[in-house]
Amino acid sequence: MSEARVAGTPADPTPNLDRRSLLRNAAAVGLVALPGAGLLSACATSGSGDSGTSGGGKKTATNPLGVKEDAPLDVVIFNGGYGDKYATEAHEPLYKKEFPKATVKHEAVTDVGKTLQPRFSSGTSVPDVVDNSGSGLMDFGALVADGQMADLTPLWDAPSVDDPNKKVRDIVVPGTVDTGSFNGKPFVLYYVSTVFGLWYSGKLFKDKGWTVPTTWDDFLKLLDDIKKAGLTPFGYAGANAAYYMWNVILTSAAKIGGPDVLKAIDNLEDGAWTAPAVKQAATAWAEVGAKYTDKAFLGLKHTDVQLQQNQYKVALYPSGDWLPNEQSKDTPSDFQYQMMPTPSVTSSDKLPANAVRATAGEGFFVPAHAPNKAGGLEYLRQMLSKKGANEFTKLTKSPAVTVGSAEGVDLGPGVNSSQAALKAAGSNVFNIFFDGWYAELDKECRTATNELFFNGGTADAFCTRMQKKADAIKADSSVTKFHR
C-alpha cells in the first residue's frame, strides 16, 4: 500500500502511459504490474535528488553498476504478508555471493514510516534498499518530490544477471518499468503480482454446498445462507484495513460504469465521486455492512479478522492474494483458500462479473542519498534474476515480475485461484491510482468507508464527503497532480 501526496514543483500533467493498454498487455502474459496503495506520508527532508550510481567501484561485465566490493549494504524489509525470509534466504545471499567482502545489514520492520522517517529526516543513516510497504509505509510521491529516491534507469539499462545480452528491463513483465515511474522517470520497483477479490475456504463452501455467485441477487442469497449457518457472512478489519473495503466498493463501481469511473476519480475530475456508478456501488455494499457483518470488526486489525476466517467464523474476506501466505501459520491444512471476483451489482454492468483489479505490490526503492547506492541498485538486479525471482516465488507462493518466476513452483490453491481469475478476466482488468498519488484522499476514503460499512452511513454521504476532499486536493496548488 502506498501514497503520493506531495508538495513541490508541479508535475507534468501529461500521461506517460496508456495504462489500459498496459493492463491488457500485462494480462496477456499472466501478470498486471501497476502501483499499489498505502497510508502514511513521509517526513522527508528536501534533497538535491539523484545523480548517477555513486558506487565507488570499477564497472565491469560482472559488476555493471560499479559496486565497491567491500562497501556495506543496509537493507530494510517490510515484514508483512510475504515475511522476510525471501531476503535473508535468497536475495541477500545472492548479493553476498557476488560481493563476499561486503557486510549486509538486514532489518525487518512492521512500520516502515515510523522506523525510517527519523533516518530520512536526519539524513545520517539512510539505508541502501527499502521495501516500502504495509499500512505504515512512507509516501512515495513525497519522497520523489523531495529528491529522496534514486533514479532506477541505471538498473533497467544494466545487463541482466542471467543473460548479458538482455537488459534488466527486457526480462520483466511488460509495464513493470512504467508502473514505478513518476512523470516518465522510474523510481520504484514493484516486485510482486497482486490480484484482488473476495476470499473464502474451498473446504467450507464444498461442505456447505455453497456456490460462487456472479450476480448480486445470488450474492445476497449466499450471505443469507451463511448467516443462517451461524457464521459472519462478510468482514474486514476497520482498524487498519479499510483500504481492503474501499477497493471492493470501487471495484464494483468500475464494473457498473466501466473503468473510466476510476480514471475520473484518479484524475480528480469534477463530480467523479458522486457519479451514479459510485453511488450504486456504495449503496450495495452499505447493505452488506448493515446486515451481514460483525460491527466489532471496526476495532480489529486485519490479522484478527483473518484468523477468524481461518477458524471458520467468517466466510468472505476482501484482500489481495498475499493473504494465503500471510495466514499460512494459522490456516488449517485442508482450508483451501480460494478467490472469487466481486459479483455484478446490476444486470447492465459495463464490465463482466469476472473482471478484476490487478496490480503489483511491494514497492522497493533505493534512496538517492544512500551510502551504497550502486549496491542498492545491484541488490534489485539480483532480486530480478531468475534465481532471485524463483526463490521469492517458492518462499512466498506469489509470482515476482521477472518473466518465468513461477516456473516449477506450486503456488498453492489460493494463488492458483487468483491467477486463474486473472487469466479468465482477459482484457477486463483495471487498477486504481489515487491512493498512490494522494495520501490524504486515501485516508479520507478509509474513514468514509468505515462510516458507510459499520456505522450506518449512506451512499450519498459517502460520495459527498469524498468529492469534497477530492475538490480540496484539486484546488491545493501545493499538491503535485498526477494524471492518466
182 or 33, higher pLDDT: 182
Average pLDDT over residues 350-365: 92
Instruction: Give the pLDDT mean for 214-242.
Output: 98
Check if the beta carbon of residue 53 is closer than 8 Å to that of residue 154: yes
Can you tell me the mean pLDDT for 306-319?
98
- pLDDT at 319 > cutoff 50: yes
pLDDT of residue 55: 59
Q: What is the mean pLDDT of residues 346-350?
A: 98
Would you say 289 and 309 are in contact if contact means Cβ atoms under 8 Å apart?
no
Query: pLDDT for 136-179, tens place per residue?
Result: 889 887 888 889 999 999 999 999 999 999 999 999 987 788 77
Whether residue 81 contacts residue 36, with contact meaning beta carbons closer than 8 Å, is answered with no
Q: Which of 380, 475, 480 is nearest to 436 (CA)?
A: 480
| CB contact at 8 A, 338 and 201 | yes
Q: Which of 13-17, 178-182, 290-294, 430-434 has the lowest mean pLDDT?
A: 13-17
**For residue 17, pLDDT beyond 70:** no
The three state secondary structure string of the chain is CCCCCCECCCCCCCCCCCHHHHHHHHHHCCCCCCCCCCCCCCCCCCCCCCCCCCCECCCCCCCCCCECCCCCEEEEEECCCCCCHHHHHHHHHHHHHHCCCCCEEEEEECCHHHHHHHHHHHCCCCCCEEEECCCCCCCHHHHHHCCCECCCHHHHHCECCCCCCCEHHHCECCCHHHHCEECCEECCEEEEEEEEEEEEEHHHHHHHCCCCCCCHHHHHHHHHHHHHCCCEEECCCCCCCHHHHHHHHHHHHHHHHCCHHHHHHHCCCCCCCCCHHHHHHHHHHHHHHHHCCCHHHHHCCHHHHHHHHHCCCEEEEEEECCHHHHCCCCCCCCCCEEEECCCCCCCCCCCCCCCEEEEEEEEEECECCCCCHHHHHHHHHHHCCHHHHHHHHHHHCCCECECCCCCCCCCHHHHHHHHHHHHHHCCCEECCCHHHHCHHHHHHHHHHHHHHHHCCCCHHHHHHHHHHHHHHHHHCCCECCCCC
Q: Which tens digits make up the pLDDT trace of 244-273? A: 999 999 999 999 999 999 999 999 999 999
Rounded average pLDDT over 369-375 = 96
Q: For the chain, what is the radius of gyration of the CA atoms?
A: 22
For 326-332, what is the mean pLDDT?
95
Q: What is the pLDDT of residue 306?
A: 98
Task: Tell me the whole-structure pTM to 2 decimals.
Answer: 0.77
Instruction: State the pLDDT confidence band at 354, using cuts at 50, 70 and 90.
Output: very high
**Residues 176 and 66: beta-carbon distance below 8 Å:** no
The fourth-level CATH superfamily of domain 19-194+358-430 is Periplasmic binding protein-like II (3.40.190.10)
Domain with CATH 3.40.190.10 in the chain: 19-194+358-430, 198-354+437-475
Place of cell 495504462: 19
Q: How far apart are CA 127 and CA 435, in angstroms?
A: 25
Rounded mean pLDDT of 295-321? 97
Distances (CA, A) of 258 to 27, 229, 264, 349: 18, 35, 11, 8
Per-residue pLDDT, 50: 53
Fold classified for 198-354+437-475? D-Maltodextrin-Binding Protein; domain 2 (3.40.190)
| Span 12-34, average pLDDT | 33
